[in-house]
Amino acid sequence: MVKRSTWSIPYLIFMLVFVVLPLLLIVLYAFQDGSGRFTLSNITHFFSDSDSLSTFAVSIEVAIENTLICILLGYPAAWILANRKYNKSAVTVVLFIMPMWINALMRTLATAELFNMLGIALGKGTLLFGMVYDFLPFMIYPIYNTLRKMDQSYAEAAEDLGAAPWTVFWKITVPLSIPGVMSGILMVFMPTVSTFAISEFLTNNKIKLFGTIIQENINSSMWNYGAALAFIMLVIIGITTLFQGSEQTEAEGGVI
Amino acid sequence: MTEEYIIDIQHLSKSFGGVKVLDDINFYVRSGEFITLLGPSGCGKTTLLRQIAGFVVPDEGRIMLEGKDISGIPPHKRPLNTVFQRYALFPHLDVFDNVAFGLKLQKLPAKEIESRVKKMLKMVSMTDYEDRSVDSLSGGQQQRVAIARALVNYPKVLLLDEPLAALDLKMRKDMQLELKEIHRKMGITFIYVTHDQEEALTLSDTIVVMNEGRIQQIGTPTDIYNEPVNSFVADFIGESTILNGTMICDRKVEFMGHEFECVDEGFGQNVPVDVVVRPEDVCISSSMEGAQFSGVVESCIFKGVHYEMFVDTDNGYELMVQDYDSFEPGTKVGLRINPDDIQVMRKERTCNTIEAEVEDGEHVSMLGCSWECRVPEGFQEGDKVLAEVAFDKVDLLDNQEDGKLGGEVHFLLYKGDHYHLTILTDDGDHLWVDTDDIWDKGDLVGIDILPEDIKIVRRNG
């Protein structure tokens, strides 16, 4: 009888080679100069370079805006989808989820073409549009999942105790769906910070995001600085994840 | 006179997807009463409670609260509160905030809220738990909080939906006593839903026995136990043996092949009846002195307080007997049933009566298919008639495909020497069948009836 733990060995190797090793390499490169000597200059360079810092600030700003718009649009959509009164078939859910089946790059290119055709100037507006279009399903789905699984008896109990439907929504439904919203934020906010294709196609690189400068540095063989930027981003992701608290572990949202 | 009653339910009906869940429900609740809706699962009792709470809108009928029709009022505007089966305590609020939920919505001053919540938590013995999260409470504690959360609003009526079903036996017994005590202290009307007949007998002032969406009997626990109106109630409440009998004349009934004196009158002469004998009412002794009939003990099981025995009687019936003394299997015993202890009930039906339509001289259509039978002279094609089929003339087959139509064993009753089954056909019709074969509830069966066993009669009116 083969022990069950031995079955995990192939996965372990895969993780080592494709997850742990690249991460280690990023850290290693981030603290080296071009000739392989240990240095902190890559990091200090970032914090003293106003261009990089402002790009970073813009990235965070865009990410926050995108996440907020996704919540504002996604929550009602998820609520309607999860409500059996309004949504009697799974078709509507599929319609909302379907864009995710198509490659994001393709969708973005198509969106850019659409704007060109309509003669709309590319800029921040189009960038946000593209991002919301891309990431909305990732917000809807986790919220939809929590709402769908939510025990209907909580809402009934609140109503029974005298809460009008609107009060039930604010005092019961919203607080109980927070894990789903958190999950959605995690799935929208972080990828937005590191995205570069959307800003490239939808603003013609007029607006640079953090992902864009990482990509530019790596493309122009500035491996060490690129790695340092990636490292800084990883640290931020790490901090955000911690910040979202332990309840994230039991969030019912889940990745598709 | 509806004002005398705090709740008055009038002609309430409800269907879900074409299936009638509640059928013309009528009853009233006196102020301060502890009333229990009792019935097996699927009998409609929870739907009825949810209609009173306002979560289900009735198709027909009215729910009167203190003389006012509340059928159209949404749940949050009804002065009623519910204790839910799974408690439904809000997981994001602590014990205090759960209990205070209703009071905060009423925008009462914080001081008053605090004093009322504390008073109520004290009543349910949960004083030191105010700041605890509800997830950290045991089932029994959650139950107490749920009761406090509902009662703190001083509802006109408290609705309880199987509140003790999730607790273990010992805790359930304790909570029953506490509930009764809370009811006495608060003086609030309780409407309680349960499938547990013992719980209903323990707690209630009045019991409403329900089955298949209809009220079977309303009465005090003693009435329901001692004088069940039909075989369903007799079988559902307590242990009993239900037997076919014949009312010979007033105060004289024949069953198990013997004549017995009884106290019932007014049935007429030689009328077929159902007879209920409670196992504790059968006197058993080893001597034949004073015995009305004899039997041989077949099995004997110790049940804690008493012994439960099955006795084969001299005429081939099986009778359940409970006694403080045990009798070894194989012992010949003398048996006696006092006139007071024989409960005689009118039979709901003496044969299957099915609506049918004549197709031609040799066929009728009924129960959703065509049947061969002898259609008597004088009937024409398209005539609406009734087909009568004796209980023991319906054949049940192991495979649904082998029968003319399929069905499911819906309810079964042991009648001392045979089983009386209620079969629900695939089309939702009922058939009643007497059989010696053993079936279980939920068994799928094929149904067949021989042509000569279908008797065609004219429909009245």
At B264-309, the pLDDT tens digits run 998 989 999 999 999 999 999 999 988 999 999 999 999 989 999 9
Structure tokens at B368: 């959703």
Q: How far is CA A174 from CA A47, A135, B318, B375, in A?
A: 39, 21, 61, 68
CA dihedral (B121, A150, B193, A167) positive or negative? positive
Are B101 and A158 within 8 A, CB to CB?
Answer: yes
Strands of B206-211's sheet in order across: B80-83, B157-161, B189-194, B34-38, B206-211, B214-219
Query: B323: which strand partners?
Result: B307
Over residues B201-231, the pLDDT tens digits come to: 999 999 999 998 999 999 999 999 999 999 8
Structure tokens at A35: 């000739």
Are A153 and B92 within 8 A, CB to CB?
Answer: no
**Mean pLDDT within A110-118:** 90
Longest dimension (CA), chain A: 72
Contacts 24+ apart (CB under 8 A), B401-404: B401/B446, B402/B446, B402/B448, B403/B445, B403/B446, B403/B447, B403/B448, B404/B369, B404/B371, B404/B446, B404/B447, B404/B448, B404/B449
**Mean pLDDT within B442-458:** 91
Any B CB within 8 A of A252 CB: no
**Mean pLDDT within A233-240:** 81
Any A CB within 8 A of B98 CB: no
Q: Which CATH architecture has domain B5-231?
A: 3-Layer(aba) Sandwich (3.40)
Q: Which residues lie closer than 8 Å to B356 by C-beta, 6 or more apart?
A: B364, B365, B366, B371, B384, B385, B386, B387, B456
The helix (H) or strand (E) run that includes residue B413 is strand B405-414
Q: How far is CA A56 from CA A213, A226, B289, in A?
A: 9, 14, 104
- Please give the pLDDT value at position A248: 43
Provide the CA B169 distance to its chain's centre, in angstroms: 21
Q: Please list every residue in chain B whose beta carbon sits closer than 8 Å to the beta carbon of residue A181.
A: none
> Does domain B352-458 bear CATH number 3.40.640.10?
no
Contact B241/B319 with Cβ under 8 angstroms? yes
Q: How far is CA B178 from CA B30, B129, B151, B260, in A?
A: 22, 18, 14, 44
Q: What is the 3-state secondary structure (H, E, C) of B115-127?
A: HHHHHHHHHCCCH
Distance from CA of A227 to the nearest CA of B (A): 42
Reference B196, options B182, B181, B183, B179; nearest CA is B179
- Please give the pLDDT value at position A202: 87
Closest-CA residue in chain A for B151?
A161
Reference B218, options B53, B28, B30, B63; nearest CA is B28
Spell out the alpha helix ranges (H) of B212-302: 221-226, 231-236
User: Locate tokens 């009008």: which residue?
Assistant: A164
Q: Please list every residue in chain A whose beta carbon sits closer than 8 Å to the beta carbon of residue B160.
A: none
Q: Which of B55, B74, B81 sits opposite A161 (nearest CB)?
A: B81
Q: For residue B445, is pLDDT > 60?
A: yes
Q: Which of A156, A165, A175 sits opposite B88 (nearest CB)?
A: A156
- Please give the pLDDT value at position B461: 56
Closest-CA residue in chain B for A178?
B92
Closest-CA residue in chain A for B158?
A160
Q: Please list every residue in chain B whose beta carbon sits closer than 8 Å to the beta carbon of residue A151.
A: 86, 88
Distance from CA of B72 to the nearest CA of A (A): 15
Structure tokens at A176: 């109980």
User: Taking the domains of chain B in order of start, what are their residue ranges?
Assistant: 5-231, 239-346, 352-458
Fold: same for B5-231 and B239-346:
no
**Amino acid (1-letter code) at residue B5:** Y
Closest-CA residue in chain A for B98?
A158
Are A163 and B76 within 8 A, CB to CB?
Answer: yes
Any B CB within 8 A of A10 CB: no
Look up the ipTM and state it. 0.79
Q: Please list every residue in chain B whose beta carbon sits closer than 8 Å to the beta carbon of residue A161.
A: 76, 81, 101-102, 105, 149-150, 153
Spatial separation of the C-alpha atoms in residues B359 and B381, rounded to whole Å: 5
Left if phi > 0, otherwise alpha if psi is -120 to 50, otherwise beta: which for B74? beta
The pTM of the whole model exceeds 0.80: yes
Q: Please list every residue in chain A whose beta carbon sits closer than 8 Å to the beta carbon of residue B82.
A: 156-157, 160
Closest-CA residue in chain B for A172?
B90
Greater pLDDT, A34 or B126? B126
Over residues A175-215, the pLDDT tens digits come to: 999 999 999 998 898 888 878 888 888 888 788 888 888 88
Are A176 and B82 within 8 A, CB to CB?
Answer: no
Over residues A58-94, the pLDDT tens digits come to: 888 999 999 999 999 999 999 988 887 777 677 777 7
Spatial separation of the C-alpha atoms in residues B101 and A200, rounded to whole Å: 52
Distance from CA of A162 to the nearest CA of B (A): 4
Give the right CATH number for B239-346 from 3.40.50.11780, 2.40.50.140, 3.40.50.460, 3.10.450.240.
2.40.50.140
Q: For residue A246, is pLDDT > 90?
A: no
